[in-house]
Amino acid sequence: MSTFLPFTRPSIDEQTIAEVAEVLRSGWLASGPKVKAFEAALSTYFGGRPVRTQTSATASLEHALLACGIGAGDEVIVPAMSFVASANVVVRTGARPVFVDVDLDTRSIDLDQAEAAISARTRAIMPVHLAGLPVDLDRVYALAERHGLRVIEDAAQALGSSYRGRRIGSSGDLVCFSFHPNKNITSIEGGAVVGGSSEEVRELELHRFHGQARIAADQVETYFAGGKANLSDVAACVGLGQLRQLEAFTARRRELVARYFALWGEEPPLRLPARGDAGHNWHMFAALLPLDRLRIDRAEFIAAMAARGVGIGVHYPAIHLFSAYRALGYREGQFPNAERIGRETVTLPLFPAMSDSDPERVVTAAREVLRGAMQ
């Protein structure tokens, strides 16, 4: 039987592994020279903009909101289709997430709905570049300017993507990235905020380490009760090794996606994601199952694919249907596209180490399962 093909897997090269061993031997494991080097390398990648790292993109998003002064009584517009962290961080600041629907194929925030949802309490909008497909940033920032809003870009999945020739993160307000193991590059766990004024960058530094700063060689001051989310040098070392390979990783993902589209052909049995343009980094390849035409449900499809040696992911349930958000008054039927995506989405394997024949293996298995399940 063929080796099981997961829906994603990180690629860590031997050079990076050796460099991690050097960090472990150095005795400096917490934030130190490697974190500074990683932030400097990311800053260079983003055209010289300030970069501050955190232990996760969740922390990055929360700290970005806090650096903007968002808190109790404020509202932040968030797409109903994203990973739940996009909304959780808003709640954790004391603000309220105001959900709007997304486009069925791009999964991008519906900006007409977003503008209609703006109230006197709205302080920010959080566009999500889901699966790495860039949102229409020209429209986002025009809307934000018209209404005096901050923009917190959830670019957790968009490292390596570009919008109209500009790298996501190289411009804009505050842009947050993830280095989780399933992302396009990893630092084991980690995130980063790109951009911000000098005062906001200072706030980001304070939020990631207890609200505390050194004010003299033998003195520290704590300005507020902050948390702890500083990246380790071990994680930063992995991130540096991965960043060297980002362009190659992105090119390989695009090759594999082109193969997927060719194999599915003109009339695929699944609803395929929007192709986007050459700036798409293809973090994920998430299609929609035609559940209304199947005798099986999604769980059974996933099990049938696993039996054929192919792993399938689910990205993501609609946020407003979770009990935490139903408790805020949200209900089924409000955001039909997000709900349909949440019900039907299946994420097919996509990672740089896949072989040229792996997409064919996935498509062949999926066609076989779907053929046998059609009503």
Show which residues are catalytic. Answer: 183
Tokens encoding 22:
């050097």
Q: What are residue 212's DSSP bridge partners?
A: 222
Place of tokens 């947050």: 176
Bridge pairing between strands 122-125 and 75-79: parallel
Task: Select from 35, 26, 76 the least CA-distant residue to 54.
Answer: 35
Task: Select from 62, 54, 105, 80 the least CA-distant residue to 338.
Answer: 80
How far from 77 is each of 74, 91, 211, 274, CA to CA, in Å? 10, 12, 27, 23
CA distance 297 to 291: 7
CA distance 225 to 223: 7
Task: Select from 252, 88, 80 the least CA-distant residue to 160.
Answer: 252
CA distance 46 to 91: 29
> Do the beta carbons of residue 35 and residue 236 sit within 8 Å?
yes
